[in-house]
Amino acid sequence: MLEILSLIRQDGDPAWCRSVPNWERGPWLETLPGLRRARGNRRPRIISSHLPLHMFPRAFLRSKAKV
């Protein structure tokens, strides 16, 4: 899914996918380093997680984010 979203974000250009590691393109929300990296990424952000939906922050659920 991360590869597909990365390609969509870059209009199908695979150069970004090949040059930027997964953990930088789609950092893990449930880790502190991942959260810091996600906040620093340009929008639209790609964020990875294995958290159940009910454990996401309420502000996230009220946002326009695609899940």
Stretch 3-11: mean pLDDT, rounded?
A: 94
Within-domain flag for 12: yes
Please give the model's pTM, rounded to 2 decimal places. 0.75
Q: What are phi and psi of 28, to 5 degrees?
A: -80, 125
Based on the structure, what is the number of domains in the chain? 1
List the single range of 19-23, 29-33, 49-53, 63-67 with lowest mean pLDDT: 63-67
Within-domain flag for 51: yes
Within-domain flag for 67: no
Q: Which residues are catalytic?
A: 50
Binned at pLDDT 50, 70 and 90, residue 60 comes out as confident
13, pLDDT greater than 90: yes
Binned at pLDDT 50, 70 and 90, residue 65 comes out as confident
Within-domain flag for 40: yes
Contacts of 16 (CB under 8 A, 6+ apart): 6, 9, 10, 25
Within-domain flag for 42: yes
Name the residue range of residue 14's domain: 1-62
